[in-house]
Structure 1
């Protein structure tokens, strides 16, 4: 019992320390921009640039805080879920429309593969968050001219959603850790892209609360495939 409490306390300490570190950087940028703006008179355009930076960093902080709250609710068992019958194929088709717009904006090709009408019980909002997170990651880390794809298949009463990309890929030594909280393969690039290393941890949690799991196959320089397996109704 004592050992279990000690482990829980250490996890909480680590979580708090990591969260503080993630919030410290955007806060420092906001403080620096505000200080510079107040030090002397500036042209209107310079003020706008400072305000734009402050707005972006505040948005980054808000995103981190929302993800931290999601994980905190998961840890405490207080998150509220609304399970219903969901046509997974229809949901993915709706999500694909958003992903295609994002791909076009970055100069990527988007491919929607087969999406049969498979039905499962789940929380629509959380499943949408799961698949949008995976697609957003794929788009972020795929250079212009690459391809992102989404497809759905069934085997042994399990639905499998595959999100593929032709992006940077993940070095093999990092693959076992990518679903850990605050873990980032390339910290500098993740920071530039607005990542805090929480998205995949949330994806893993959402898959698990639906009785499923998430897996990845990747090769550095050749892209990745994230597969979400969920039980059908």
Structure 2
């Protein structure tokens, strides 16, 4: 636009259009931003700094001026426009917004060309005709470079979404298969348990059995009934979790007291199995959590550790990390976890990205953070007890509590479950 007071006298000597545009560089950029800010279709202009908004445009003006002077171009316009399109993509521009913004820019150039004619009416007409042609060509290349980059980015984004969707479907299929195998193993355990109950009951009814034999058979029956009852209760818990019938009941809890109480209640089982059971952590750790679900997680992990540790010890530890997270660990000196349990337990949860192994002094350079070491095989002599259901329940409860988990397991050294939980929760009604 031209101020009414800027009319040029007829005898003013002309300067080249390139020199004029160079002298008007700052004004052109300012007018371009002002026209973009005034356009309601452009949402991002006000949030960009001057440098961010201008981006590659000064380089494009250099190229345009070099073309007007028929000089070698220092940069390629298509590549520069492509870089500008990439910048706008990262800033959240839609393709329509980018094209609208570029249209404002070429309009500013056309306006300056009209101003040049008004200031210098004796300018070479052939130069002006060439300049208008250059603006048309310049605008076409500018749009082509930006649209090409946007098209490439959109195709990559679409491909990325397709890959992510396929990965999600593959994971769902894998989890479905793992869940089926888990239930199959549990059904096998239940059938075995009922077989033991039936056998023990028939042995109790034998008239030739001595009192000592009947006592032994009765103890076997009681143990098996307890095991089967526990598996059925776990299946009920799992069905509730799968059906989405569990919800968070968050309260302020001193988890130090809660964890020490759980460990203390498990001491008789540890002593029966000849194991040392330790609890280590701060005297007081106040967090917001669901007391019942946390208790169920710890009880399942602790029972699993005690049942699968032939000798040695089980350790429960906890600590606060910062104002946002705290850590719970359950570690044993057992035989380790089998492949199927490790995979089904960790796959749906998020392994933490800043954990460090306790079983190795150093990590391999090519191992990703949160890597699960190759698990040990469970001894075939160990009785099957439906442990997978308990760990699967832990997984689902951990998801409800928005927990992150690392599992480390190694032959002859045992297993560590390290769970990071939020110290506070923001409920939907807050």
What TM bracket, shorter-length normalisation?
Answer: 0.7 to 0.9
Correspondence 1:37-48 to 2 at 5 A: 37-38=204-205, 40-48=207-215
Structure 1 position 177 matched with structure 2 position 346: no
Structure 2: stretches of 5+ with no match in the other structure:
1-168, 347-375, 425-430
Shift in Å, 1:190: 4.5
Structure 1 position 209 matched with structure 2 position 375: no
Tell me, in whole angstroms, the C-alpha distance in 2 between the residues paired with 1:24 and 1:76: 25
Deviation by residue 1:113-149 (Cα, 9 ceiling, x = unmatched): 22253333332222112112222222233333x2322
Shift in Å, 1:100: 4.0
Pick one of 128, 131, 136 that aligns with 2:295: 128
Structure 1: stretches of 5+ with no match in the other structure:
none
Shift in Å, 1:230: 0.6
Correspondence 1:23-62 to 2 at 5 A: 23-38=190-205, 40-62=207-229
Tell me, in whole angstroms, the C-alpha distance in 1 between the residues paired with 2:226 and 2:200: 15
Pick one of 318, 322, 338 that aligns with 1:152: 318
Instruction: Give secondary structure in 1 for the equivalent of 2:209.
Output: coil
Correspondence 1:73-92 to 2 at 5 A: 73-79=240-246, 81-92=248-259
What is the match of residue 378 of structure 2? 186
Instruction: Give secondary structure in 2 for the equivalent of 1:230.
Output: strand
Deviation by residue 1:197-218 (Cα, 9 ceiling, x = unmatched): 2111111111111111332112
Shift in Å, 1:26: 0.8
Shift in Å, 1:175: 6.7
Deviation by residue 1:5-55 (Cα, 9 ceiling, x = unmatched): xx6997886666444322110111122222344454433333333222222
Aligned-residue RMSD, C-alpha: 3.2
Residues 1:48 and 1:217: Cα distance change in structure 2 (over 3 Å)? same
TM-score (norm 2): 0.45
Pick one of 221, 225, 228 that aligns with 2:412: 221
Residues 1:155 and 1:196: Cα distance change in structure 2 (over 3 Å)? closer
Tell me, in whole angstroms, the C-alpha distance in 2 between the residues paired with 1:13 and 1:204: 16
Instruction: Give secondary structure in 1 for the equivalent of 2:187.
Output: helix
What is the match of residue 235 of structure 2? 68
Tell me, in whole angstroms, the C-alpha distance in 2 between the residues paired with 1:187 and 1:196: 14
What is the match of residue 305 of structure 2? 138
TM-score (norm 1): 0.79
Deviation by residue 1:68-108 (Cα, 9 ceiling, x = unmatched): 00000001112365332211222112223234444344333
Residues 1:43 and 1:121: Cα distance change in structure 2 (over 3 Å)? same
Shift in Å, 1:63: 0.6
Tell me the matched-pair count. 223
Instruction: Give secondary structure in 2 for the equivalent of 1:113.
Output: strand
